[in-house]
Chains A and B, each alone.
Chain A
Amino acid sequence: MRSLNDSALARLQEAVDAPDLEGTRYRLIAKLGQGGMGSVYQVEDRTLARDVALKVINLADGRNEVAARLLQEAQVIARLEHPGIIPVHDAGTLADGRPYYTMKLVQGKSLEDYVRDLDVMSDRLRIFLRICDPVAFAHAHGVLHRDLKPANVMVGLFGEVLVMDWGLSKLLTGGAIGSDAAAKPADPSLPDKCSAPGTDHGSVLGTLGYMSPEQASGGGQLDPRADIYSLGAILEFLLGTAGSGRVPRALSAICEKAMAAERNDRYSSVPDLAADVAHFLDGLPVTAYPESAFAQAWRWITRNRTWLLLLLAYVVTRALLIFFRSR
């Protein structure tokens, strides 16, 4: 009997894992990718006649905790209505018992691919600011992402920046999601309001290199500063791959502060981090990098050079006219 080779096995596995969409309004078109928690497929929504993305757990991961995490991911995303967070359209259970949810189909590039053609540092920083927006929004609604990295940021065809893959997201104690955040406590139907299923105290989930030390160690309660560390790592990635030469010291200082090993030394919130980057873009001082008086004066002169040159031209003209007239 002939044995199956690896590629044949992979194709077989793919065919088995393909979602059985019988009885749903969706028709399978293609597989888009595979993550740690499941696979994403391009499907056609036959009712609304549009293509959407469908995320479903793999058959081999059909454990309750993975299914619960997928459901939580869908619930978290559905309530975080923000232009920088991909909208969820629908959720349900397939005929084979696997839970799924559908979301907007984003056509674009991952941040890693997108910035390859983006050499101008200010353009990269503006992209970074747009990554900060949805993360700050999620924090304000009591949600940590916990897996922020360039691969989880998509830039759409029209330049829209979307933070993806909220599968490791975590609801903070007392956090509430939705527009009625003040009145509504965290959803008690979610498996654990302090941590995602399977991410109990001591477990480690995330991506090395983008994960804060406290998240990597698996100890202690995480707070928004864990995501701030990851944002700092993304900023470092954006600066490190920029082709515009040396990174300004103020920007390096922002990275260092965001990625401080001790979380008390980091920015206390994402808006604070974003404000520092925005200040840098505007030629203003940043909190992470105290400047000398000379450096401050030089920056002021640089910012107002046209204005100063015009005034100087006027004074010099006047002085020359007075000089020549008095001779």
Chain B
Amino acid sequence: MNKPLLGLVLGGILGIFDGLTAWFTPAVRSQIMQIVIGSTVKGLIAGILIGYFARKVNSLALGIVFGLSVGLVLAYGVAAMQPGPDHYYFEIMLPGGIVGTIIGYATQRFGQAPQPTTR
């Protein structure tokens, strides 16, 4: 599996899982489907961005930093879009950052790097 695809799959799985945890919050349980879909899309976007970065840059440290940054930025966007006075920045950005870090680590450590071309 190449790195962008690995990032996509991992981002999707973690996004679904991340969204499903909203079920434990009774106040938003009724909107669980929208939350899962939004969270999955966020995971997919983060996964493919981090996967492409891993394909271009072969560095575990940079991969983790990039993953954390993308996770935080996307989570910030989701939190900022929350309706109402409470945006839950901390509650959304903290797990989002960890998810980005996990994808950053995974895409650097695993996944097939592009083969060098020969002429």
Contacts and interface: CB of A to CB of B under 8 A. Distances in A.
Interface of A: 306-307, 310-311, 313-314, 317-318, 321-322, 325-326
Contacts of B14: 314
A326 B24 contact: yes
A317 B94 contact: yes
A321 B94 contact: yes
B99 interface: yes
A314 B24 contact: no
A318 B21 contact: yes
Given A322-B25, A325-B25, A326-B24, A314 B109 contact: no
B95 A318 contact: yes
13 contacts: A306-B105, A306-B109, A310-B102, A310-B105, A311-B102, A313-B98, A314-B95, A314-B98, A317-B95, A322-B21, A325-B25, A325-B91, A326-B26
Contact of B101 (A310, A322, A325): A310
Given A307-B109, A310-B105, A322 B98 contact: no
Given A307-B109, A321-B91, A321-B94, A314 B102 contact: yes
B105 A322 contact: no
B interface bracket (residues with beta carbon within 8 Å of A): 10 to 19
8 closest Cβ pairs, A-B complex = A322-B24, A314-B98, A310-B102, A321-B91, A318-B21, A317-B95, A318-B95, A325-B25
B10 to A, nearest CB: 11
B75 interface: no
Interface string B4-46: 0000000000100010010011100000000000000000000
A321 B95 contact: yes
Contacts, number: 34
Contacts of B106: 307
Nearest to A323: B24
A84 to B, nearest CB: 25
Contacts of A310: 98, 101-102, 105
A313 B26 CA distance: 24
Nearest to B25: A325
Given A322-B21, A325-B91, A307 B98 contact: no
Contacts of A322: 21, 24-25
A321 B89 CA distance: 12
Nearest to B104: A310
A326 B98 contact: no
Contacts of B102: 307, 310-311, 314
Contacts of A311: 102
Given A314-B102, A322-B25, 13 more contacts: A306-B105, A306-B109, A307-B105, A310-B105, A314-B14, A314-B98, A314-B99, A321-B94, A321-B95, A322-B24, A325-B91, A326-B24, A326-B26
Contacts of B91: 321, 325
A311 to B, nearest CB: 7
Nearest to B91: A321
Contacts of A326: 24-26
A101 to B, nearest CB: 38
